[in-house]
Amino acid sequence: MTTSSRRTVDYERIKAVGPDRAAAEWLLRCGAKVRFQGFERWQHDYNALPTGPLGRYKIQAIDATESCIMYRGFDHLDGLKHLEEIKLNKCIYIEDACLERLSSIENLQESMHMMEVVSCGNVSDKGIIALHKLRNLEYLFLCDLPGINDKQKTVERLQTALPRLEIALDLQ
C-alpha cells in the first residue's frame, strides 16, 4: 500500500459502503483501531472487519495510538454520528489543523465525550483550544505536548467554553 493511498479520500467508497465502514478501513490501514457500537473488542485487522448490511456497524471509539493518520484523511470522519471517544497517542502527523478539522465536524460536536491527546509533538495551544467546539466533551487528557506554551491560559479557555469538561493534565 502506498502512502498516497492512505492519505487520499475515496468519496465513491464512502458512498458505496457507508461512512463508518469507509472510515474504519482508512483508520485500520493507517494502523489505528476502532471499536463498534455494541461491541467490547477493538478491531485492528483490516481483513477481519465485520461485514453485514450497510450501516450495521457504527464506530463508537477510535484508538489512533502510533498510527499514521493525518489531516488529508479526516474527511473520512465527516459521516460518523456515533463516535464518542478518540485517543491520539504518539501520532506524529497530528497537528493543530487536524484538531481544528475534527472540532469543525458537526456530528462530532454532538457525539464526542472523551478524548486523549498524548505525545503529539506538532500540537500547540491553538489546536487544543479548537476542541472547545466539541460541546459535549466531558473528559480530555493531555500529556507530553511540548508544543503547548501556556497551559494555564489554554485550560482556562477550554473550561470557560466547556464548564462540564474534566481536564486531566500531565504537561511539563
The CA-CA-CA angle for residues 170, 166, 146, to 5°, reads: 30
Cell numbers representing residue 44 in the block: 485492528
Pairing of strands 166-170, 33-36: unpaired
Query: Do 29 and 9 touch, CB atoms closer than 8 A?
Result: no
Q: For the chain, list the domains and their CATH numbers.
A: 11-170 (3.80.10.10)
Taking phi over 0 as left and psi of -120 to 50 as alpha, with beta for the rest, 137 belongs to: beta
Q: What is the pTM of this model?
A: 0.93
Length of the chain: 172
Pairing mode of beta strands 59-63, 33-36 = antiparallel
Tens place of pLDDT for every residue, the chain, 172 residues?
444 444 578 899 999 999 999 999 999 999 999 999 999 999 999 999 998 887 889 999 999 999 999 999 999 999 999 999 999 999 999 999 999 999 999 999 999 999 999 999 999 999 999 999 999 999 999 999 999 999 999 999 999 999 999 999 987 6
In eight-state DSSP terms, residue 42 is: P
